[in-house]
Structure 1
Amino acid sequence: MAQFKRQLAKSGYESQPGTEAVFDLNRRYCEGAVFSAMWPNPQSPYVVTGMPEVPGQAPNTNPPATWRLRQDEAIVMIGVTPPPEAYFSFDLTMVRGSLQTGPVLWPSVGDPINNKTVRTTGPTPYGQPFALVVTGNRRTRAEVNEMLAASGLGGGTNGMTIPPAMFRLGLDEGSDEFLLGVRTIAPEPGFEKALDDYRAAPPLKVFRVRPGSGSADETKPVYPPDPLPVPPLRVSGTGATELNLNPTLQMLRRRIIDAHPGFEARDVALERGFEESYPGFQANLVTDSPIPGVAALSNDADDPLSRNFSLPDGSFVVAYGTNHVATQQASYSSLSLYADPRAAVSLTAENHRELEGSAQDFIADQPNADKFYAWSFSRAGGNGPTGPHVTTLPPTSTDFCAQYGTDRPVDMSTLRAVARAYMQPATLTRPALSSLLLDRLLVFTPK
């Protein structure tokens, strides 16, 4: 770190330090800081980079989460990668609009750097020194990369591009704002505390750096435009699918229904809800919950979601489908439940490790049972499902925001599900949605 700062000074660059902290969208919603929690992953508290403003710039709309960037500036992160886990990534997004009032246009900016693509100075992706450079200017990137190499980080330097062909770099009110977040999900056994510690005190230092001008007006670029091109995207899908497993999926559905004869069953389908980032960006598909829009969907993920459905007290819902990790379509997958069509706060989630083997409760006689899951989320008490594959949901009368010391209302009776599938091992990006058997729900109410 000290070496890099010396290189900055030697090269005539100026710098300002930023911050790294968890951005808890459930808490932020309850505190009134955001118009909606927008379906956050409860198993992945987002670590967000806060950046100071350049003197004289137009104020950032969503401090500390979003920031503007001069066309010849760069954001530089130096630190240590997360501990071993199913998936981590450094994800750059653009946010256009106010997170407090909504709506927002919130697409990803290119592919994230994940635990299979990250460059570090060590032999593994985990717990190793690395650097990350975010810029849209070719000359700035080259010079910053040289400084990092002189600091001993040349082999561990990663680039993220804000392509001026797509986004408006600058410090005026018409310029775009960006958000750099860290996703960390599903630690390997034995590394649970290490991941908690990483999130609590991220071993990351971040700076905004720019060529010095000697001028009192730091909003004007020193270097002329030298735009980096839009980087190629990793291609999803291998042609392999889960679709041959459909007969077993239909059998699983029938047996779940048959296991609960005292209840009426209603199907709730999951479908494409969040649009891919660049198509959604071009079509201006804003997020204004319950409208999902793009909502920071990672290029590494497919996140099918259900429509909102009612789950009154005395009822339960069974989520079932293929375990996308077991079928090699994903490195991490999960099923999450959310409350309130507008608030979209997260209630609970179960990931592929927790879901493993749960379909044995219904299809133990099938040779491919381990490629499926079936998990109950219940408000039915002792009248509903019991056992290790059941999550008890809070009753509809629960004051959700009381846990954060506020009384902002949340409709706990109306739920929505999101099924996540991250990073197909063969492609290191999202699985092709057409290759998946979409996760499904059965809502059970007393007869």
Structure 2
Amino acid sequence: MVIKTEGTPDGSSGNPFNQTTVIIITADRGIDQRIRAAAQSAGYSDNITNTQVLPSVMLNMGLGNTSDTFASFIRPALFNDTQAGENYINNTPATVFRITPNNTTELDPYDYPELRVRGTGQTEFDLMDDLEELRIAILNKYNESNVTELPVSMWVPVGSDALQRGINALGPDNDAAYLWTANQTMFSPTPPFYNTSLYYPFLRDPAITLGNDTGEFIIVYGVNHVASGKATYSNFAIYGADVWNGVGAITDEDFNGSAEEYLPDNPNAKYLYVYKLARNCSEGDQYCYEVPYGVGVHGLELDQPLFIGFRIYLENTTKTGPSYSEIVYDRAIKFDPKN
């Protein structure tokens, strides 16, 4: 939406996909200017060059043991051309240089960049009654099962919050809202698999597993945030809670239209979704994901605790993540056979 590329020079409207671009990640204006000049001399126009600012006022810059480390993530999804997507993943057409000046230069650090503000004042809360109707329809359909409704809360802290509290936000960007099936009273300050000084609220014992009994499954449901206009892309993914191995993601393209069979007479069903997670999906069940096991971290073992994470990316109006105060949280219900 905002990137400068040969297809969207200076961030103008156009096609940014499969286009050449330059991204400079730096804390210093002088370094940015020198890299831009070098890029131009190599034939890269300034109108395709982007600067991602590292705000040194909040970060520990340097090369010492107490200095911060940085990572930049590229997360492509929903390839129109499957083969092109595989080629991109296997042969990423990008080059990354780490640039260090040969001589000491006078620092000219960037200020904290102006943020694109979340929120429009428009919410999804008018769909709450429809969502409750959907919940009742789900419970009625599976009324011969034991029911556990999973709590859902904010997953990843806002970046500035995490930086100020010194906790690991696993990618503190503003481009999405993140939710997960977790209970705030069950948090532990340190993930057992982190042998570092970084801290992150972790679900100690979610006590949710997924066996292979035909009557044991999870129903994930909620507002389709893309259909409601609060996102351009959303998904949910199932994870192992002990090592955080994500084994499958279901996107809004997968679950679009899935609530209409539950609410055939409700015109707002098009704004909702329902999806099943099971070890064995019934033949012809379009809205069901078979969760694998016996394949190491590519699956979840039958006794492995799990959680579900939700990602809600980019509201068109604001070009940043939606406001948590304007979205209806996604939901999940665990069903087990009655003894």
Q: TM-score, normalised by structure 1?
A: 0.65
CA drift at 1:349: 1.5
| One-letter amino acid of the structure 1 residue matched with residue 179 of structure 2 | P
Is 1:330 aligned with 2:212? Answer: no
- Stretches of structure 1 lacking an aligned partner (at least 5 in a row): 1-115, 214-221, 287-293
In 2, distance between residues paired with 1:336 and 1:255? Answer: 23
CA drift at 1:129: 1.1
Is 1:247 aligned with 2:126? Answer: no
CA drift at 1:243: 0.3
CA drift at 1:233: 1.2
1:174 is aligned, of 66, 81, 86, to 66
CA drift at 1:399: 5.0
| One-letter amino acid of the structure 2 residue matched with residue 280 of structure 1 | A
- Give the equivalent residue in structure 1 for 2:198: none
- Give the equivalent residue in structure 1 for 2:48: 156
CA drift at 1:146: 2.1
Q: 140-149 or 157-166: which moved more?
A: 140-149
CA drift at 1:163: 1.8
Structure 2 counterparts to residues 28-67 of structure 1, below 5 A: none
Deviations 1:137-169 (A, max 9, x none): 211111211222332321100001112211122
Deviations 1:208-235 (A, max 9, x none): 223333xxxxxxxx10222111111110
Is 1:392 aligned with 2:282? Answer: no
CA RMSD of aligned residues (A): 2.0
In 2, distance between residues paired with 1:260 and 1:171? Answer: 57
In 1, distance between residues paired with 2:48 and 2:159? Answer: 27
| One-letter amino acid of the structure 1 residue matched with residue 102 of structure 2 | G
CA drift at 1:297: 4.3
The question of whether the paired residues in 2 share the 8 Å contact of 1:149 and 1:155 is answered with: no
| One-letter amino acid of the structure 1 residue matched with residue 268 of structure 2 | N
| One-letter amino acid of the structure 2 residue matched with residue 400 of structure 1 | G
In 1, distance between residues paired with 2:30 and 2:250? Answer: 45
CA drift at 1:284: 1.6
- Give the equivalent residue in structure 2 for 1:193: 83
1:344 is aligned, of 244, 265, 272, to 244
Deviations 1:367-402 (A, max 9, x none): 0111110000113666xx96111112235xx3524x
- Give the equivalent residue in structure 1 for 2:18: 127
The question of whether the paired residues in 1 share the 8 Å contact of 2:155 and 2:309 is answered with: no
In 2, distance between residues paired with 1:424 and 1:207? Answer: 32
Q: Which has the higher strand share?
A: 1
In 2, distance between residues paired with 1:435 and 1:363? Answer: 24
In 2, distance between residues paired with 1:209 and 1:296? Answer: 23
- Stretches of structure 2 lacking an aligned partner (at least 5 in a row): 8-13, 183-205
The question of whether the paired residues in 1 share the 8 Å contact of 2:160 and 2:172 is answered with: no
| One-letter amino acid of the structure 2 residue matched with residue 335 of structure 1 | F
The question of whether the paired residues in 2 share the 8 Å contact of 1:272 and 1:305 is answered with: yes
Secondary structure of 2:117's match?
coil
Q: Percent identity?
A: 26
CA drift at 1:313: 3.1
CA drift at 1:312: 3.1
The question of whether the paired residues in 1 share the 8 Å contact of 2:4 and 2:48 is answered with: yes
- Give the equivalent residue in structure 2 for 1:118: 3
State how many pairs are aligned. 305
| One-letter amino acid of the structure 1 residue matched with residue 332 of structure 2 | L
- Give the equivalent residue in structure 1 for 2:331: 440
| One-letter amino acid of the structure 1 residue matched with residue 233 of structure 2 | Y
- Give the equivalent residue in structure 2 for 1:232: 114
Misfit runs of 4+, over 3 Å: 379-382, 409-413
| One-letter amino acid of the structure 2 residue matched with residue 199 of structure 1 | I
CA drift at 1:271: 1.0
Q: Are the structure 2 counterparts of residues 266 and 250 from structure 1 closer, same or farther at C-alpha, using a change threshold of 3 Å? A: same
1:259 is aligned, of 111, 122, 141, to 141
Q: 123-132 or 231-240: which moved more?
A: 123-132
CA drift at 1:335: 1.2
- Give the equivalent residue in structure 2 for 1:419: 310
Q: TM-score, normalised by structure 2?
A: 0.84
In 1, distance between residues paired with 2:257 and 2:73? Answer: 32
